[in-house]
Chains A and B, each alone.
Chain A
Amino acid sequence: MISSTDRCLRFGQNAIILILLIILTDQVIGRIIRHFYFTQESGLYYRTTFAIDSTNADILVFGSSRANHHYVPEVFEDSLGLSFYNSGRDGNFLLFNYAVFKSIVRRYTPKILLFDVNPDELNYEKTDYERLSALFPYYKNHNEIRSTVELKSPFEKYKLISEIYPFNSSLITIIIGNLELNKSRKTDKKGYVPLENQIKDPLLHKIEPPKNSIDENKMNAISDIIKYCNTNNIRLIFIQSPMFAIVGKTTSSEYFEKVAWEKKAIFWNFINDQEFLHNPEYFQDQDHLNDKGAILFSKLVAQKINDLQTFHPLTLIGSKEMETTSSTK
Chain B
Amino acid sequence: MLFNSIHFILFFVVVTTLYFTLPHRFRWFLLLASSCYFYMVFIPIYILILIFTIIIDYYAGIWLEKTEGNKRKYFLMASIVANIGVLALFKYYNFLNNNLSDLMNSIGYNNIIPHLNIILPIGLSFHTFQAMSYTIEVYRGHQKAEHNFGIYALYVMFYPQLVAGPIERPYNLIHQFYEKHYFEYERVVEGLKLMLWGFFMKLVIADRLAIYVNAVYNNSSQHNGLTLLVATVFFAFQIYCDFAGYSNIAIGAAKVMGFNLMTNFNRPYFSGSISEFWKRWHISLSSWFRDYLYISLGGNRVSIPRWYFNLICVFVISGLWHGANWTFIIWGALNGLYLVFAIITETLRKKLNHFLFIDRITWLHTFFKIFITFLLACFAWVFFRAGSLNEAIEVLNKIFILKGPLFIGSPAFLIYSLFGILFLLMVELKTEYLNSKLSFFHHRRSWVRKFSYTFILILILLFGVFDGGQFIYFQF
Q: Which residues of A contact B (CB under 8 A)?
A: 4, 7-8, 10-11, 14, 17-18, 21-22, 25-26, 29, 130, 133, 153, 155, 158-159, 162, 164-165, 167-169, 171-173, 176
Most buried by A among B6, B446, B464: B6
| Across-interface contacts of B454 in A (CB, < 8 A) | 18, 21-22, 25
Given contacts A164-B458, A164-B461, 12 further A-B contacts (CB under 8 A): A4-B183, A8-B183, A10-B185, A11-B188, A11-B189, A17-B450, A18-B450, A22-B457, A22-B458, A25-B454, A168-B461, A176-B412
Partner of A11, one of B185, B446, B451, B466: B185
Instruction: Kindly state whether residue B467 has any CB partner on chain A within 8 Å.
Output: yes
- How far is A8 from B183 in the complex, measured between Cα atoms in Å? 7
Question: Please, how many angstroms separate the alpha-carbon atoms of A293 and B69 in the complex?
Answer: 84
Which residues of B, 450-476, contact A by the 8 Å Cβ criterion? 450-451, 453-454, 457-458, 461-467
A171–B458 CA distance with the chains assembled, in angstroms: 12
Q: Does B416 contact A (CB under 8 A)?
A: yes
Q: Mark B183-197, 1 if CB is under 8 A from A, else 0.
A: 111001100000000
Instruction: Tell whether B63 is near chain A: CB-to-CB under 8 Å.
Output: no
In the complex, the answer to whether A162 meets B413 with C-beta atoms within 8 Å is no
**Which residues of B sit under 8 angstroms from A164, Cβ to Cβ?**
458, 461-462
With A25-B458, A171-B462, A172-B412 as contacts: A7 and B184 at CB distance below 8 Å: yes
Residues of A within 8 A of B6 (CB): 153, 155, 158-159
Closest to B187 in A: A7
Q: Known contacts A7-B185, A11-B185; decide if A29 and B413 are in contact (CB<8 Å).
A: no
Rounded to whole angstroms, the CA-CA distance of A14 and B462 in the bound complex is: 24
Judge if B357 is at the interface, Cβ distance under 8 Å. no
Residue of B nearest to A173 (CB): B412
- Are A26 and B451 in contact (CB-based, < 8 A)? no
Tell me the smallest distance from the CB of B215 to a CB of chain A, in Å.
13
Chain B residues, CB < 8 A from A25: 454, 458
Q: How far is the CB of A49 from chain B (nearest CB, A)?
A: 18
Inter-chain contacts of B451 with A (CB < 8 A) = 21
The interface residues of chain B lying within 8 Å CB-to-CB of A7 are 182-185
What 1/0 flags go to B410-424 for Cβ under 8 Å of A?
A: 011101100000000
Bound complex: CA A164 to CA B466 (Å): 13
Question: How far does the alpha carbon of A164 sit from the alpha carbon of B461 in the complex, in Å?
Answer: 6
Question: Which of A133, A164, A171, A172 counts the most B-chain CB atoms under 10 A from its CB?
Answer: A172
Given the complex of chains A and B, what is the CA–CA distance between A159 and B184 in angstroms? Answer: 30
With both beta carbons as reference points, the residue of chain A lying nearest to B203 in the complex is identified as A168
Whether the Cβ atoms of B185 and A162 lie closer than 8 Å is no
B9-49 residues at the A interface, CB under 8 angstroms: none
Complex Cα distance, B6 from A153, in Å, reads 10
Contact: B462 with A168, CB < 8 Å?
Answer: yes
Contact: A172 with B416, CB < 8 Å?
Answer: yes
Contacts of A169 on B, CB cut-off 8 Å? 412-413, 416, 462-463, 465
Q: Which residue of B lies closest to A130 (CB)?
A: B467
- The dominant DSSP class at the A interface is helix
| Residue numbers in A under 8 Å from B189 (CB-CB) | 11, 14
Cβ–Cβ contact B188 & A26, under 8 A: no
Please determine whether B415 and A172 come into contact, CB atoms closer than 8 angstroms. Answer: yes
Residues of B within 8 A of A17 (CB): 450
Nearest-Cβ distance from residue A126 to partner chain B, whole angstroms: 8
CA distance A4 to B467 in the complex (A): 39
The 7 closest A-B pairs by CB, nearest first: A172-B412, A130-B467, A164-B461, A155-B6, A7-B185, A21-B454, A22-B454
Cα A221 to Cα B446 with chains together (Å):
52
Among B416, B454, B464: residue with most chain A CB under 10 A:
B454
Residue numbers in A under 8 Å from B415 (CB-CB): 172
Residues of chain B within 8 A (CB-CB) of A165 are 461
Q: Which B residues are CB-close (under 8 A) to A8? A: 183
Question: How far is B463's CA from A22's CA once the two chains are assembled, in angstroms?
Answer: 16
Q: Which residue of B lies closest to A33 (CB)?
A: B462
Q: In the bound complex, do residue A26 and residue B450 qualify as a contact, i.e. CB atoms below 8 Å apart?
A: no
Q: How far is A133 from B468 in the complex, measured between Cα atoms in Å? A: 13
B184: which A residues are within 8 A, CB to CB? 7
Residues of B within 8 A of A167 (CB): 462
**Bound: A133/B467 CA distance, A:** 10
B411, B461, B466: the one contacting A26 at CB < 8 Å is B461
Q: Chain A residues near B446: list those with CB within 8 A.
A: 14
A165 to B466: give the CA distance in the assembly, Å. 10
Q: CB distance B463 to A4 under 8 Å?
A: no
- B 171-186 to A, binary, CB cutoff 8 A, 1 in contact else 0: 0000000000011110
A17–B184 CA distance with the chains assembled, in angstroms: 19
CA distance A3 to B183 in the complex (A): 9
Determine the distance from Cα of A158 to Cα of B465 in the docked complex, in whole angstroms: 17
Bound CA–CA A128/B294 (angstroms): 49
In the bound assembly, the distance between CA atoms of A57 and B232 in angstroms comes to 48
Q: Which residue of A lies closest to B465 (CB)?
A: A169
In the complex, what distance in Å separates the CA atom of A158 from the CA atom of B462?
17
Query: Smallest distance from the beta carbon of A28 to chain B beta carbons, Å?
Result: 10
Chain B residues with Cβ below 8 Å from A176 are: 412
> Which residues from chain B contact A4 at a C-beta distance below 8 Å?
182-183
Residues of B within 8 A of A159 (CB): 6, 466
Whether the Cβ atoms of B416 and A162 lie closer than 8 Å is no
Question: Smallest Cβ distance from B425 to chain A, in angstroms?
Answer: 20
Residues from chain B with Cβ under 8 Å of A172 in the complex: 411-412, 415-416
Q: Specify which chain B residues have a CB less than 8 angstroms from the CB of A133 in the assembled complex.
A: 466-467
Question: How far is B462's CA from A162's CA once the two chains are assembled, in angstroms?
Answer: 11
**What residues on A are CB-neighbors of B465 within 8 Å?**
169
Partner of B183 from A11, A26, A130, A168 at Cβ < 8 Å: A11
Instruction: Let me know if B453 and A18 touch, CB within 8 A.
Output: yes
Expressed in whole angstroms, the minimum distance between the Cβ of A201 and any Cβ of chain B is 11
A162 — which chain B residues lie within 8 A by C-beta?
461
> In whole angstroms, how far apart are the Cα atoms of A29 and B458 in the complex?
9
- Closest chain-A Cβ to B233's Cβ sits at a distance in Å of 21
In the assembled complex, the Cα of A286 lies from the Cα of B353 at a distance in Å of 55
| Complex CA–CA separation, A66 to B182 (angstroms) | 60
CB distance from A212 to the nearest CB of B (A): 18
CB pairs A–B below 8 angstroms (15 shown): A4-B183, A8-B183, A14-B189, A14-B450, A17-B450, A18-B453, A18-B454, A22-B457, A25-B458, A29-B462, A130-B467, A168-B461, A168-B462, A169-B416, A171-B412
A168→B185 contact, CB < 8 A: no
Task: Determine how close the nearest CB of chain B comes to the CB of A182; give it in whole angstroms.
Answer: 9
B82 to chain A, nearest CB (A): 37
Inter-chain CA distance A173–B414, complex, in Å, is: 12
